[in-house]
Structure 1
Amino acid sequence: MPMDALLRELNRVTFVGRTLTEVLTDITRIATAGIPGAESTSITLLKNDKPFTAAHHGDMALAADELQYEKGYGPCMDAGRGGVLLRIDDVQAEERWPDYVAHAQEVGVRSSLSVPLPYQGSSIGALDIYSTRVAAFAGPEALEAGLETAEVVAVAVANADAHWQLSEQTRNMRIAMESRAVIEQAKGILMAQRHLTAEQAFEVLRGASQRYNRKLRDIAAGIVESTQES
């Protein structure tokens, strides 16, 4: 696929209203069809320095990824952790990852290209591209296409991360508002029952929280629930 056609396909990937897995699965499909030499493609992401395959197109990529996870190293893991582009032209002649390449042939891999995923000045994983042919990614076209695709993957991950953070902020704000509401309700009950001021009622709640080693919100919720039950 010509580079301009690949970019058009990548730009058509819809992010809104879809999970990250759905988006990345689309990207791996497009990458496999559009990157010269590619026969199977996957995306390795690192979470707490532990790699996992976030999406793949073709069983060869998934098998090759899992083989690297089992061995604890390999081109996709090293590309993701080190932020460097790594290419294998022929696994039979490759000496950098002896345990990995010895078994990579068994799943059909003869050459591969691992492109790091840039995000906020570091690498969060790698785009992994595999072929059953020797030196399938030796040309500049494959490298250019791989780099362009990796940038789109990084944007997708960044969008998903931003969406998650926004969701967490919204959830935390809702919890905080609910906590404040139940505390105010409990204060009102104490003020009415014991003829306390707002400050005194709050001190009663705070003292109970410290005495019973429970969250202030839980103490307040217990008072509100006991009043509703009675």
Structure 2
Amino acid sequence: MSTPDPGDIEPPRDPRAAFAELSKIMLGEQPLSATLERVAQLAKQTIPGAADVSVTLLQDGEVASAAFTGPLAAQLDRQYEAGFGPCMDAATSGTTITIDDTAHSRRYPDFARAAARKGVRHTMSIGLPVQRQTIGALNLYGTDDVPFDEATQELATAFASYAAVAVANAGVYASTATLAANLQRALESRAVIDQAKGILMARHPGMSADAAFDLLSKQSQLSNRKLRDIAAELVDEVQRGGQD
């Protein structure tokens, strides 16, 4: 599977501009989903070495991927299926968790091995703190040889502080039902992806679940379409065929 080329990462934008934009996100100005997507995009544009970024939300003890900048982040956020990982731990504890070398990580060996297979060399997950509580995490994935340094971690921590306020503002405006619906959609997306993986595994005897996911991800990248849309199309195709 292809992975992001470090040479393709754009030079980071001025952090002050990103902080100013986050500070201007007012209560009710835009939907929660749009805010989350913009936070992820700004983080990728602002934090040096971030090849891909995801934002996770924490609600009633449950953590779900809410926004990501590309298929790489979407794949690695599958760690939720195992019930643990740096993203989840950062979201629940409010701390910053780094993996400097995914090829040699004792703390998260399963996640690190999965990341290394995707070409991710190092990661950083930062809790999003608001008024003595954590509402989620910002997850950064790096593909070059140099891990995130102390200056980058300080910048990412500052970014997370501004982002947390922006997300909280959007979350306050969104009703509890809307937030629950967002989480439900995330779960439904994961379900349809699992269905699509099962279809591919049935079509190709011997194909593993990871290989099936990689195939879906590759199709997503080649067609520049969302992974869940690719999966849903495959599932619909099979369902229509069964009705004929």
Q: For this structure pair, what is the TM-score category when the shorter chain's length is used for normalisation? A: 0.5 to 0.7
The match for 1:114 is: 125
Q: Does 1:59 align with 2:59?
A: no
Whichever residue aligns with residue 92 of structure 2, its letter is R
% identity of equivalent residues: 36
The match for 1:44 is: 56
Q: Does 1:28 align with 2:71?
A: no
Instruction: Please say which structure displays the higher CA radius of gyration.
Output: 1
TM-score, normalised to structure 2, is 0.61
Q: Does 1:160 align with 2:175?
A: no
Segments of 5+ residues of structure 2 without an aligned counterpart are 1-12, 179-244
CA contact (8 A) 1:71 1:100 kept: no
CA contact (8 A) 1:87 1:111 kept: yes
Instruction: Provide the C-alpha distance between the structure 2 equivalents of 1:107 and 1:49, rounded to a whole number of angstroms.
Output: 29
Relative to structure 1, the CA distance from residue 167 to residue 161 in structure 2 (aligned partners, 3 Å threshold; closer, same or farther) is same
Q: Does 1:84 align with 2:95?
A: yes
Segments of 5+ residues of structure 1 without an aligned counterpart are 169-230
Deviation at 1:134, TM superposition (A): 3.2
RMSD over aligned Cα, in angstroms?
A: 2.3
CA contact (8 A) 2:33 2:67 kept: yes
CA contact (8 A) 2:127 2:138 kept: yes
Structure scoring higher RCO (CA < 8 A, sep ≥ 6) equals 2
CA contact (8 A) 1:38 1:136 kept: no
| 1:145 aligns with one of 150, 155, 178 | 155
| 2:84 aligns with one of 68, 73, 80 | 73
Q: Displaced runs of 4+ in structure 1, greater than 2 A? A: 1-17, 164-168
CA contact (8 A) 2:31 2:174 kept: no
Instruction: Provide the C-alpha distance between the structure 2 equivalents of 1:51 and 1:167, rounded to a whole number of angstroms.
Output: 16
Deviation at 1:31, TM superposition (A): 0.8
CA contact (8 A) 1:87 1:112 kept: yes
Q: Does 1:125 align with 2:120?
A: no
CA contact (8 A) 1:79 1:85 kept: yes
CA contact (8 A) 2:23 2:166 kept: no
Deviation at 1:117, TM superposition (A): 0.6
Provide Cα deviations, 1:154-174, integer angstroms capped at 9, x if missing partner: 112321332246999xxxxxx
Instruction: Provide the C-alpha distance between the structure 2 equivalents of 1:126 and 1:152, rounded to a whole number of angstroms.
Output: 12
TM-score, normalised to structure 1, is 0.65
Instruction: Provide the C-alpha distance between the structure 1 equivalents of 2:127 and 2:70, rounded to a whole number of angstroms.
Output: 20
Instruction: Provide the C-alpha distance between the structure 2 equivalents of 1:20 and 1:11, rounded to a whole number of angstroms.
Output: 15
The match for 2:194 is: none
Whichever residue aligns with residue 48 of structure 1, its letter is D
